[in-house]
Amino acid sequence: MSHVKTMRVISQDVLGGPEVLKEIEVERPAPGPNQVLVRVRAAGLNPTDWKHRAAGIFLGEPPFVLGWDVSGVVEAVGFGVAAFGPGDEVFGMLPYPYGHGSHAEYVIAPVRALTRKPAGIDHAQAGALPLVSLTAWQALVEHADLQPGQRVLVHAAAGGVGHVAVQIAKARGAYVIGTASAGKHEFLRGLGVDEVIDYRETDFAEAVKDVDVVLDTMGGDHALRSLRVLRPGGLVVSILPVGAEGFREEAERLGVRAITMLVDADRADMEAIADLVEQGKLRAAIAGTFPLAGVAEAHALGDTGRTTGKLVLVVD
């Protein structure tokens, strides 16, 4: 009998559609210094997962295991880890982009990527939050320094990042305008959105003006056109740093500011997010939960770009 402990992971050998994802068994890793082995209870899915599955983006050629969001239980800690011990419930985002691998039964995380899971939410809820919350927090709070009474426009406000950004902006006391298809307007009003725009009927660049901050979740032309709705000195933060040729130059010409960003793992930000959760000011809308074996179905749904909130893998 071998003593090697194994785990199930969702891997792929080629780039492509959801059908390339498959469940395989690999050796369970051991945590090194300043690392934690987490038994995954839930792991969110994000657009970056389907994009990497199809195109490899930052990770190059497979094989690889996707997944950045994680909520689970500490199984073992490496040398020098003082913050957590076995049995602690934690959540966080693995360092983006190279720390992926949470779509599995276990994953190694650097200790500083994790914080304690709020006791009042389950693992599915906690696993849905990290990447989108960190993205929205870093965009709105760190980069935009959003203040009470400021006007913020959130694109695709019912999407994963969008619906969390809306809640963070409201918690900061901002006036929030969101774009979404008509069927999602009631959902957004329930989150406290002050003004909802049906992007299919209305050109936001015509309908909105004098905004302090725009959170652009779409990239490309959306990023450029968003510059036109700002007040002088206002800011567009784009979380898709691709396809917007001349974005910064155009901002300068218009007397406004433009930033492109990628999300970054950060414990202090995760603690701020956990705090909002504990105050009842932030929760993830979950569009669907799937077992590990259902990961291809989850990706196929994600590929449509139509889901409200988050898709989550729940690992037994």
> In angstroms, rounded to a whole number, what is the distance separating the alpha carbons of residues 129 and 69?
7
Q: Give me the chain's average pLDDT, please.
A: 96
Q: What is the pLDDT at residue 80?
A: 98
> In angstroms, rounded to a whole number, what is the distance separating the alpha carbons of residues 109 and 37?
6
Q: Kindly report the CA angle at 184 between 183 and 185, in degrees rounded to 5?
A: 100
DSSP-assigned letters across all residues of 124-138: HHHHHSHHHHHHHHI
> In angstroms, rounded to a whole number, what is the distance separating the alpha carbons of residues 51 and 204?
26
Q: What is the pLDDT at residue 2?
A: 55
**115 confidence band (pLDDT: 50, 70, 90):** very high
Domain with CATH 3.40.50.720 in the chain: 132-260
Of 227, 229, 210, whose CA–CA distance to 151 is shortest? 210
> In angstroms, rounded to a whole number, what is the distance separating the alpha carbons of residues 46 and 252?
32
> In angstroms, rounded to a whole number, what is the distance separating the alpha carbons of residues 61 and 64?
8
Q: Give 92's strand partners.
A: 70, 114
Residue 183 scores a pLDDT above 60? yes
Residue 209's alpha-carbon distances to 167, 235, 250, in angstroms, are 21, 13, 17
Residue 143 scores a pLDDT above 90? yes
For the stretch 231-266, pLDDT in tens is 999 999 999 877 678 999 999 999 999 999 999 999
Of 237, 273, 306, whose CA–CA distance to 50 is shortest? 306
Give me the phi and psi of 294, to 5 degrees please: -95, 15
Q: Quick one: CA dihedral 269, 270, 275, 281, positive or negative?
A: positive
Q: Domain 132-260: which CATH class?
A: alpha beta
Q: Domain 6-129+284-314: which CATH class?
A: alpha beta
Q: What is the pLDDT at residue 242?
A: 74
In 3-state terms, the chain is what percent helix, strand and coil (to 5)? Answer: 30, 30, 40
Residue 205 scores a pLDDT above 80? yes
> In angstroms, rounded to a whole number, what is the distance separating the alpha carbons of residues 13 and 20?
7
Mean pLDDT of 177-185: 97
Q: What is the pLDDT at residue 229?
A: 98
Of 80, 97, 102, 129, whose CA–CA distance to 274 is shortest? 129
Mean pLDDT of 78-83: 98
Tokens of 235: 């800011």
User: Around 233, how many Cα atoms within 13 Å sit in the side-chain half-sphere?
Assistant: 1
Residue 4's alpha-carbon distances to 1, 63, 95, 265, in angstroms, are 9, 21, 27, 31
Angle between helix axes 295-303 and 47-55 (nearest 10 degrees) is: 100
Domain with CATH 3.90.180.10 in the chain: 6-129+284-314
Sheet arrangement for strand 175-179: 195-197, 175-179, 151-154, 211-216, 230-238, 257-260
Q: What is the pLDDT at residue 241?
A: 74
Contact criterion met (CB below 8 Å) for 77 and 84: yes
